[in-house]
Amino acid sequence: MKAAKRLSEMGSYVMADLQKQAREQEKRTGKPIVNLTLGNPGFPVADEVKNKMSELCQEAELFRYPGYRTIPAFSEAVHVYYQKRFHVELQNPMIIPLLGVKDAVSHLPLALLDPGDEALVPDPGFTYASDTILAGSTPVPYSLNAFMADPHSAFKKISEKTKILWMNFPSNPTGQMVDLLFYQKVVDLALKYGILVINDNPYVNITWDGVVAPSIMQVKGAERTAIEFMSLSKDYSLAGLRIGYAVGHAETLQAFSKLKNQVDAGMCLLHQEIAAFCLDQVDQDWQMEWSEKRNDYYRNNCHQLADFLEEKLKRTVERPKGGLYLWFDVPDGYETGEIYAQHILKEKSILLVPGSVYGQEGKRFVRASFAYLDL
């Protein structure tokens, strides 16, 4: 049986080949590979969260089918969290539970885009382009650097077919960040041109050196034209539980809810209770102390990895103040990040992500994750 044509339109996934090469090299040489490709959080889960989960595991009803909506405790906790963390009163009471943010990135296009529709996607950026293709629609890349310098640069690419614009700060893969003034400009432009903004915001709390990343919901008019995804994967080191949620524009969330009724059976009740516990206690002493230690851990990892790479690769590596990744260009003499990554794997036993995975503008860059380090 032949695979669907839409898969061929996505091209080959470079990282699958590199991961295979790394496994074969490690087996052949017996020398361990320093794998810097994964964003799996290395900071341990808070004892308070583990204890709460152990307590909740005794409640048999939490293991039943959950239904499609959030439980009241989870919804209320999200609203409380936005009040305490961002000083925002969300107007739309509807909260969509996400089985991780990737759930929304993959499935929301199916609810919003028809064949022939277009989505503006950042270049470089996460998998928004390939997920648009899976929905049978057309991704239109915009330059991330140009967008940050002037948000109107992305809106110049709007056509009568454009329906949504994706963005993600702190950025995966670059670590770049924006402020509330930037978000306000984007929202104003989206309202002017009549398109939806999707703000993918899973790294919002992973910052340091006095930097505090914002939510798009803090700016005027956001709920009229934007939705936002949040995640507990990085914030609480709960990546394996796949807990996230979406807030914002009412009609979009209603459409997404209708789609999700067909593609999953809802979020585990146990996980919703854990999410409610975490979000409701965002301003408690234990969580504030744990969060500070978490960000110190990632800051230290960031500098440790940058030092390591500068020594091993003789490259200057910029050190971001948020997110989980280092992003740097490849030396002259290497046409692409993929060629450079293959060379570094072979010669240094270090596995990097070629920037081309994230778009054409990443062609001569590579990404390294400091989420977990074993150097």
pLDDT tens, 52-96? Answer: 999 999 999 999 999 988 999 999 999 999 999 999 999 999 999
Q: What is the pLDDT of residue 37?
A: 93
**Two tokens, residue 51:** 């204890």
Phi then psi for residue 320, to 5 deg, are: -75, 170
DSSP 343: H
- Side-chain-side CA neighbours of residue 36 (13 Å): 29
Tell me if 337 sits within 8 A of 354, measured CB to CB.
yes
Least confident of 8-22, 38-52, 156-170, 319-333: 8-22
Torsion of CA 281, 284, 285, 286, to 10 degrees: -10
Q: Each residue of 320-335: b (16+ CB within 10 Å) or e?
A: bbbbbbbbbbbeeebe
Q: What is the pLDDT of residue 13?
A: 63
- Side-chain-side CA neighbours of residue 33 (13 Å): 25
Upstream peptide bond of 202 is cis (omega within 30 degrees of 0): no
Q: Which of 182, 237, 183 is nearest to 205 (CA)?
A: 237
Q: Which of 156, 178, 158 is nearest to 168 (CA)?
A: 178
Q: What is the pLDDT of residue 10?
A: 66
What is the band of 145 on the pLDDT scale with cuts at 50, 70, 90? very high
Who has greater pLDDT, 92 or 18?
92
Q: Which of 277, 265, 210, 283 is nearest to 238 (CA)?
A: 277
d(CA 347, CA 52): 46
- How many C-beta neighbours within 10 Å does residue 188 have? 15
The predicted-structure confidence for 230-272, as pLDDT tens digits, reads as follows 999 999 999 999 999 999 999 999 999 999 999 999 999 999 9
pLDDT at position 375 over 80: yes
Tell me if 297 sits within 8 A of 42, measured CB to CB.
yes
Q: What is the pLDDT of residue 325?
A: 98
d(CA 155, CA 267): 35
Q: What is the pLDDT of residue 11?
A: 57
User: What does the pLDDT average to over 101-117?
Assistant: 96
**In the chain, what's the furthest Cα-to-Cα distance?**
61
Tell me if 166 sits within 8 A of 194, measured CB to CB.
no
Average per-residue pLDDT in the chain? 95
Tell me if 319 sits within 8 A of 295, measured CB to CB.
no
User: What does the pLDDT average to over 1-27?
Assistant: 79
User: What does the pLDDT average to over 299-320?
Assistant: 97
Q: What is the pLDDT of residue 6?
A: 78
d(CA 61, CA 58): 9
DSSP 216: G
d(CA 252, CA 136): 19
What the chain holds in terms of domains, given with CATH numbers, is 5-44+286-369 (3.90.1150.10), 61-284 (3.40.640.10)
State pTM to two decimals.
0.95
Sign of CA dihedral 23, 29, 35, 36: negative
